[in-house]
Chain A
């Protein structure tokens, strides 16, 4: 099956620093990737759609300057949480669409803890 790798799996950082999370599709090309945020014991909330070679599309209420998304190749999208604060602590999950198919394959998630 399709594999999506997300790195790092866990990160602890100080308030005010920036954190970059990578999402890679290992065995397929993905023109579209998605970034989700999940609070404890809750469902996934879509933050943004990452499009290869163009700007990301952010969901309502998500600050694009806070959560920078870059999709520079067909296999890699990155999410940078800029000037992180404790309220940004959460579980961030990416997914990738195999080109031409309406199935999302998910990464294992990144747990961000901001002190």
Chain B
């Protein structure tokens, strides 16, 4: 069974601080997605990474896919209260289009 473990599980920081969320697995994924979900809503896609070692930037968010395509990280620079939410990584299941979701990281940014 493929598992995606995210760390930390919870994170509460002050506005302006930096943070990194990790998504780790023992399995190889052909692509990995990062989503942010707010309470009572569906997940919203932030980025898709497909190449080992790939780095993508989305404003203050930097995403990296591990060289072996087993892990990924999300780094947020100068966090803002609007970044508050549940961050989920998801890897595709052997090209079946099914996603395996990570355990989630709940981020709270205090003003």
Within 8 A of B (CB), among A70-94: 91, 93
- State which size class the interface on B falls in: 20 to 34
Q: Which residue of B lies closest to A6 (CB)?
A: B42
Whole-angstrom distance from the CB of A64 to the nearest CB of chain B? 17
In the bound complex, residues from chain B placing their C-beta under 8 Å from that of A32 are: 97
In the bound complex, residues from chain A placing their C-beta under 8 Å from that of B45 are: 103-106
Interface size on A, residues (CB 8 A): 25
Within 8 A of A (CB), among B27-79: 30-31, 33, 35, 40-45, 48
Contact call A109/B40, Cβ cutoff below 8 A = yes
Within 8 A of B (CB), among A89-112: 91, 93, 95, 97, 102-109, 111
Does A54 interact with chain B (Cβ within 8 Å)? no
Complex Cα distance, B46 from A103, in Å, reads 11
Contact call B42/A102, Cβ cutoff below 8 A = no
Contact call A46/B98, Cβ cutoff below 8 A = yes
- Bitwise, A15-52 to B at CB < 8 A (1) or not (0) is 00000000000000000101010000111111001000
Complex Cα distance, B106 from A34, in Å, reads 23
Contact call B33/A44, Cβ cutoff below 8 A = no
Complex Cα distance, B41 from A4, in Å, reads 12
Contact call A109/B97, Cβ cutoff below 8 A = no
In the bound complex, residues from chain B placing their C-beta under 8 Å from that of A43 are: 88, 101-104
A interface, CB within 8 angstroms of B: 4, 6, 32, 34, 36, 41-46, 49, 91, 93, 95, 97, 102-109, 111
Given contacts A91-B40, A102-B97, A107-B42, 14 further A-B contacts (CB under 8 A): A6-B42, A43-B88, A44-B101, A93-B42, A93-B43, A95-B99, A102-B31, A102-B95, A103-B48, A104-B33, A104-B45, A106-B43, A108-B41, A109-B41
20 A-B Cβ contacts within 8 A?
Answer: A4-B42, A41-B106, A42-B104, A43-B88, A43-B102, A43-B104, A44-B43, A44-B88, A45-B101, A49-B97, A49-B98, A91-B40, A102-B97, A103-B45, A104-B45, A104-B97, A104-B99, A106-B42, A107-B42, A108-B41
